[in-house]
Structure 1
Amino acid sequence: MKAVCTVLIACVTMFLVPTAVAQDARRITPEQIDRLVKPYLDAKRINAISIGVIDGDVSLTHHLGTLSRDIPNPPTDQTIYEIGSISKVFTSLLLASEIEAGNLKLTSTVGELLPDVSKANPALNSVQLVQLATHTSGLPRMPANLDLSNVTDPYATYSRESLHTYLSSIDPAAKPGEKSEYSNLAVGLLGDVLAMRSGDDYDVLIRRVIAEPLGMTDTGAMLDPSCLSDSQKSRLAPPHDANLDANYNWHFASLAGAGSVFSTTSDMLRFAAASLDPPDNDLGKAMRLSQQKHAAPIGSGVAMGLGWHFARDKQTLWHNGQTGGYHTMLMVNPKLNAAVVVLCNTAMGDVDALAGQFIQTIAGMNVEPKSFDEALTVPAETVARLAGQYEIAPGAVLTVRADQSQLFAQLTGQPEVQIFAISETKWKYRVVEATIEFELPDSGPASSLTLFQSGMKVPGKRK
């Protein structure tokens, strides 16, 4: 979950692939996958990585790296990963299933489903369920009463009571439909109200509606450790942060719909195959509904299906995900009859670009392996001059902290992450594709910074 999903700004990865390609050119081989993954392993950017590919009538899985420093084995088709914000596609599919069953409408509102909460806050009466699934609800990325001090498991204790308390008093910064803002809160709320309606918890609900009909026997929601069987616990890839250090598994309560799902390469390929060719049943109808365009681009946002992002080519549907120790990507292109699944047990956002290279290779494009800049060691006295608080938007402060020669950054409402020096004034995130460039005078502290991400340039002045 980009993305607390460690994404800084709604991270929009947009890939461009040809709209048509000769059948004999549409091939990707294990050797091509090895070539593209090798720089990530050589640069020690990832631990284990699992790739699943559908290329027309051909499908394959491929696994590289090792599970950890202490477990030198590669992953397998049955290795369990947290898939983070790809969960939002599952949550939105639950909504589509309810719509196809005639139980809800796209225009049904939060107020209708939570009458007690909307009585306290009438603003919720105009928030439609389709807007929760397309990040156009006006709700912020995160609830302000979520305690992020527990960086090892930030969502585990955020209860339904806490969620409803927050919703009862929130004053949305934008009216529904006016603004596109990636929101873990919105999709987490959607998952919770759907679970409430069903009488089941979110784990039971996604297993019953999605996983079991598709034969996804190793897919569920990480509400607590008991959601994994003993066999699944033994196959769970150990989580790692962007430095390849051991990290923690995340668990979810009321915001499970935003990022709680776990799965395997085998199961996610089943889901990808069904997304390319939906079954002829109620679930298939819901999958088709979720893939339709339900929100046009607003500002710098992208067109949205229900949970799905549309890529720049207007035909590739995608979603990525990140938790404290994993990064994942799912891409499907029905016109090319192609799909890519990438699961990694390292919280490192460069994995998104790798998935894009795979689907571009399937489309017949000539793709070169990625090169990585080596991190520099900057003198501690220079690093100290970069530390401070920088306001990049009203209410959004980027706090930069120095620790000897290391530098850490934390955006309001998100956890602190380490950034790495490319030069004395230019530093790069590894959890997402983003860089920060500081304006550093000849003496004294940095006066400002600029955050570069997803084609956006966001300045921030020192407070």
Structure 2
Amino acid sequence: MSGLADATGTAAGRTTGGHGDPAAARLLAGAARAVDAPDLVLAVSRDQVRTVHTGGSAAPGPVPRERLLYELGSASKPFAGLLLARLVAQGRVRYEDRAADLLAPGLPVHPAVRRITLRHLLTHTSGLPGLPADFYPRAVPRWTTDPYGGYTADRVVRAFLKARPRHRPGARWHYSNFAVSVLGHTLAAATGTPWEVLLHQQVLAPLRLAGTRVRPGPEGADAVGHHRDGTPVPALDTGGFTAAGAVRSSPLDLLTFLEAHLGGARRPDSPVDATLATALADVTRPVLRRGWRHAHTHTLTWFWHPSPYGPVLFHAGATMGQQAFLGLRPDSGLAVAATATRRVRWGDTFVSTAYGLLTGTP
């Protein structure tokens, strides 16, 4: 199943799916030719039938590409959203709980900060900026190597408690890694459980995502990105921004994660309990509209777009050397997971290609 590089360095690959769909195999092979990446995996599942294409311009390594762990970057946020939704379903927290009350009860904070709820943090409506203001002076000189590593969890929490939001919570949508990171620390405080342990207990273990974790895996388990000069990109250190972008996962695990949103949790052999099933339904339900004339729709954690074949839900992410795309189309039982090793650059076709697989086929 490993991909192959031809003599000219253009992407070639192999497609597999066991008893998968031959038409899907041809579609994935054609889509792969539109993406210039050292390592590429395009994977689809329709009604639990999987087809996976692997390829790329680099020589394949000893671990098949579809079993490597890729950095998801911002595509980690659907995992954070599902965790929150499950804790709500269990009655351990509420969407309308105020984050400051859980993080530092009784501590004086700005009135706008006091009103920020867990729902505001997850849906990017908290009024917080994308990153704390004091993040940039240290991060910019290390932007291509380690921008997040030195900004600890304590600093993220302190920055939140000292914040002066520009907008009233709930008034505007503004994408914020800062806010989702605060959500992670708030849930850890509310449950008395570290974020990494909480995610494993509540999401990864129940969904049997053995190839998904927050920290780098054993040697050889992780995909490796490269700078333009060919030097390897160090493994991502998210510092205190773990909930916003630290998840690493294999494409096969990502299909399992997406299939759970499409009803896989209701299969007879599923270990998913009622609270996780409720959470999976919650995170796929539209909850807000934003933008010019409120043209854009969002669920708790997914971007939501119309398509000729029904609504699609998706999230993309990128780190210094890797990219990921997750998408599902509930009306068709279709899921798309895509990963690549490369650095995002102008004219990149990875996201548009993966999105096209999600929206362009009946």
| Higher Cα radius of gyration | 1
Give me the whole-angstrom Cα distance separating, in 2, the residues matched to 1:164 and 1:243: 37
- What residue number does 1:93 align with? 82
Query: What corresponds to 2:16 in structure 1?
Result: none
1:243 Cα deviation from its structure 2 partner: 7.0
Task: Give identity over the alignment, percent.
Answer: 25
Aligned residue among 167, 179, 183 for 1:174: 167
- Identify which of 288, 309, 314 aligns with 1:295: 288
Q: 1:129 aligns with which of 118, 138, 142?
A: 118
Q: CA RMSD in A?
A: 2.3
Please say if 1:353 is aligned against 2:352. Answer: yes
| Alignment of 1:65 onto 2:56 | yes
Which residue does the alignment assign to 2:14?
Answer: none
Higher helix fraction (1 or 2): 2
Matched ranges for 1:255-294 at <5 A: 255-277=241-263, 279-280=265-266, 281=273, 282-294=275-287
Tell me, yes or no, if structure 1 residue 38 matches structure 2 residue 33. Answer: yes
Structure 2, unaligned runs of 5 or more: 1-20, 267-272
User: Which among 306, 313, 318 is matched to residue 317 of structure 1?
Assistant: 313
User: What residue number does 2:204 align with?
Assistant: 211
Deviation per CA, 1:286-323: give whole Å up to 9, x if none.
Answer: 11111111222244773211111111437211000111
In structure 1, what is the Cα distance between the partners aligned to 2:283 and 2:320? 28
Q: TM-score, normalised by structure 1?
A: 0.66
Q: Tell me how far 1:214 sits from its aligned partner.
A: 0.9
TM-score, length-scaled by structure 2: 0.83
How far the C-alpha of 1:278 sits from its partner, in A, is: 5.1
Q: In structure 2, how many angstroms separate the alpha carbons of the residues matched to 1:327 and 1:340?
A: 14
Tell whether 2:69 aligns with 1:80: yes
Alpha-carbon separation, structure 1, partners of 2:290 and 2:23: 32
Q: CA deviation at 1:121?
A: 2.9
Say whether the 8 Å CA contact 2:225–2:320 is kept in structure 1.
yes
Aligned length: 325
Verify the 8 A CA contact 1:96 1:286 in the aligned structure 2: yes
Does structure 2 conserve the Cα–Cα contact (< 8 Å) formed by 1:93 and 1:290?
yes
Which residue does 1:253 correspond to in 2?
A: 239
CA distance in 2, matches of 1:64, 1:216: 23
Residue of structure 2 aligned with 1:29, choices 17, 20, 24? 24
1:150 and 2:142 are equivalent in the alignment: yes
* 2:129 paired with 1:140: yes
Q: What does the per-residue CA deviation read over 1:305-364, in whole Å, with 9 as the maximum and x for residues that have no partner?
A: 11111114372110001111111100101101101000111133521101122123432x
Distance (whole Å) between structure 2 residues aligned to residue 220 and residue 344 of structure 1: 18
Amino acid at match of 1:35: G
Equivalent in the alignment of 1:383: none
Q: Structure 2 vs 1, CA of residues 28 and 89 (structure 1 numbering), >3 Å: closer, same or farther?
A: farther
Letter of the 1:48 partner, please give it: D
Matched, 1:165 2:158: yes
Q: Deviations over 1:59-97 (max 9, x none)?
A: 11111115x47x667843311101111111111111101
Map of 2:44 onto structure 1: 53
Structure 1 segments unaligned to the other structure (5+ residues): 1-25, 364-463
Amino acid at match of 2:124: H
